[in-house]
Amino acid sequence: MKDLTQVEQLTYDADTAALFGAVAAEPWAMFLDSNADSPGGGRWDILALAPRATLCTAGAVTEVRGGNRLTRTLADPMDVLREALGQRVDAAAAAELGLPFVGGAIGWLGYELGRRFERLDLGTPLPATAPQLAVGIYDWTLLVDHQARATYLVGQGDPADPRRQRLRRVAEGRLWARRRPFQVTGPPMSDMSHAGYARRFAAVQEYIRAGDCYQVNLARRWQAPVAGDAWAAYRRLRQVNPAPFGAYLSTPGMQVLSASPERFLAVRDRLVETRPIKGTAARHPDPDHDRALAARLAGSAKDLAENLMIVDLLRNDLGRCCETGSIRVPELFRLESYAGVHHLVSTVTGRLRSDADAPALLRACFPGGSITGAPKIRTMQIIDELEGAPRGLYCGAIGYIGFDGAMDTSIAIRTATVADGRLDFRAGGGLVADSDCDAEWSEIGLKARAMLELVAEFGADAGPASAPGPGSVRLRSDFA
């Protein structure tokens, strides 16, 4: 393999979000956001425009568009993605600079794609037109390194490609766009009352006692009517709830606003990492009280057991594509603090087999065990029965797979979508044998708080948005 990757260093601008804002409304504009402008922020931001090809899966059909050509296929979406990425490139020049991405696929996978991968026969019908995957193939991208204070234009192909020239103009701040305001035009409506949640909670407990499962992630949904520019809402979200895996994706008919704290799968030089989150406690403005809440979480037998269940599940999932004996757990029950919550986070690693690649690993582990439960297949059936509606993007994945085989993806939690004039978001939590219904109900509200605050701020009667409060804390990792 020849190294055909081209790298050009440009003038650094710390406000990547302002640069992206000029093009955020364009179809297939992608922003993977490390929130580096927040206290304790990450390192790498990735901006992409105008993909060479796009992949969209709905039902059993994946549409591939490139140039003036449209192809429809019933093949496995990961096989289609692998073919679209083409032969793996040697990106030695980019690797020397530590660049995490050299061009490739950026987009999202919806939770229901797991039905395809696991051959699940579920009771809830999935509309034939419901999107399950939206991915662009990008020859050229902007990478902003906030640690080294450097911006790189990176990619493959013809140096005279107009898409490359346009990205340079974005990086130089020479583009602007007139933006429409964003407004929530009605109150958010939830699919679940406290009584309804309690009934579902009791059903999960019965399944656990019967031996069907050990843990089930049960989620609640909110929807609100909206109008205007979803980018304005994302700009506010990244202030209110800065997260290491922020993202704004402008895909056909749907904008994605994500403030996810959780890495799903990363691959670099055949080394694999996943970082499941299980265990949540509220933050408190008083430092002493906040430390006490964190210490209580770190010593919670229930939360430690819940986390360990998912670690074991992910060890098994990684083992489907990793070398025998390579699976390790270098971090167990690490306490990490975010803008609104404390979490327990573990790290599971492995080494990818020579006959496996990033799409194969994604397929083998999808959807993430931390947002289904254990055992995965049975809990997905129970989730379908009790939630009664497709999850869509929620609990799917967002991220990239590079032409060089590198991958980094997040779990699509703390994530909202805007489509057909409606804002849609969900929050959930893992239920185990000794869970308490009221405590779990409160935890869901805690996880949804940032989105509900966002809805309130942009409500028809809301005043100007306020600045984020003091003490916002972020995780160390990001999309790199």
Question: Per the structure block, which two tokens stand in for 66?
Answer: 């490139």
Give 124's contacts (C-beta < 8 A, 6+ positions apart).
Answer: 384, 387, 388, 389, 390
Which phi and psi (to 5°) does residue 109 adopt?
-120, 130
Q: What is the Cα 259 distance to its own chain's centre?
A: 8
Separation between Cα atoms, residue 426 and residue 251, nearest integer Å: 19
Task: Spot the catalytic one: 273, 278, 387, 447.
Answer: 278
Q: What is the Cα 357 distance to its own chain's centre?
A: 20
Nearest alpha-carbon partner for 31 in 182, 144, 175, 147: 144
Residue 278 annotated among the catalytic residues of the structure:
yes
Nearest alpha-carbon partner for 58 in 157, 122, 128: 128
Separation between Cα atoms, residue 35 and residue 37, nearest integer Å: 5
> ∠ CA(416), CA(418), CA(423), 5° rounding?
70
Question: What letter would DSSP give residue 339?
Answer: S
Give 400's contacts (C-beta < 8 A, 6+ positions apart).
Answer: 32, 46, 101, 104, 105, 106, 406, 407, 408, 409, 479
Residue 262 annotated among the catalytic residues of the structure:
yes
Question: Per the structure block, which two tokens stand in for 370?
Answer: 């931390």
Tell me how far apart the terminal alpha carbons of the chain are, to the nearest angstrom: 24
Task: Count the neighbouring beta carbons within 10 Å of the beta carbon of residue 453.
Answer: 17
Separation between Cα atoms, residue 292 and residue 392, nearest integer Å: 37
Nearest alpha-carbon partner for 297 in 257, 245, 336: 336
Assign 438 to helix, strand or coil: helix
Residues 262-277 as b or e (16 or more Cβ within 10 Å = b): bbbbbbbebebbbbbb
Nearest alpha-carbon partner for 257 in 22, 74, 32, 41: 32
Nearest alpha-carbon partner for 279 in 373, 215, 339, 343: 343
Separation between Cα atoms, residue 383 and residue 3, nearest integer Å: 46
Which phi and psi (to 5°) does residue 326 adopt?
-90, -10
Q: Which residues are catalytic?
A: 262, 278
